[in-house]
Amino acid sequence: MTIETIQEEIIGEFSMFDDWMQKYEYMIDLGKTLPLISEENKTEDRLITGCQSKVWLDAQLSDGKIEYTADSDAIITKGIIAILLRVFSNQTPKAILASNTNFIDEIGLKEHLSPTRANGLVSMIKQLKIYALAFQVKQNNQ
Partner 1 sequence: MTFNTLDTIMAFDVQKIRADFPILSRIVNGYPLVYFDNAATSQKPKIVIDSIVDYYSNYNANIHRGVHSLSQEATDAYEIARQKIQHHFNAEKSHEIIFTSGTTHGINMVASGFSKLLKVGDEIIVSAMEHHSNIVPWQMLCEKTGAVLKVIPMSEEGTLVISEYEELLSENTKLVFVNHVSNALGTINPIKAIIEKAHKKGAAVLIDGAQATSHLMIDFQELDVDFYVTSAHKMCGPTGVGILYGKEVWLNKLPPYQGGGEMIKTVTFEKTTYADLPHKFEAGTPNISGGIAFGVAIDYLNSVGLINIQEYENMLLKYATKKLLEIEGLKIYGTSSEKTTVISFNIKGIHPYDIGTIVDKLGVAVRTGHHCTQPIMDFYKISGTVRASFAFYNTKIEIDIFIEAVKKAKMMLS
Give the binding site for partner 1 (CB under 8 A): 20-21, 24-25, 28, 51-54, 73-77, 118-119
Closer of 23 and 93 to partner 1 (Cβ): 23
The CB-of-46 to partner 1 minimum distance in angstroms stands at: 18
92 is known as an active-site residue: no
The CB-of-28 to partner 1 minimum distance in angstroms stands at: 6
Closer of 28 and 61 to partner 1 (Cβ): 28
The CB-of-63 to partner 1 minimum distance in angstroms stands at: 36
Strands 54-62, 65-72: parallel, antiparallel or unpaired by DSSP? Answer: antiparallel
H/E run at residue 96: helix 93-98
| Ordered DSSP codes for 113-137 | G-TTSTTSHHHHHHHHHHHHHHHHH
- Please pick, among 21, 39, 44, 51, the residue that the annotation labels catalytic: 51
| Ordered DSSP codes for 17-42 | -SSHHHHHHHHHHHHTT--BPPGGG-
Active site residues: 51
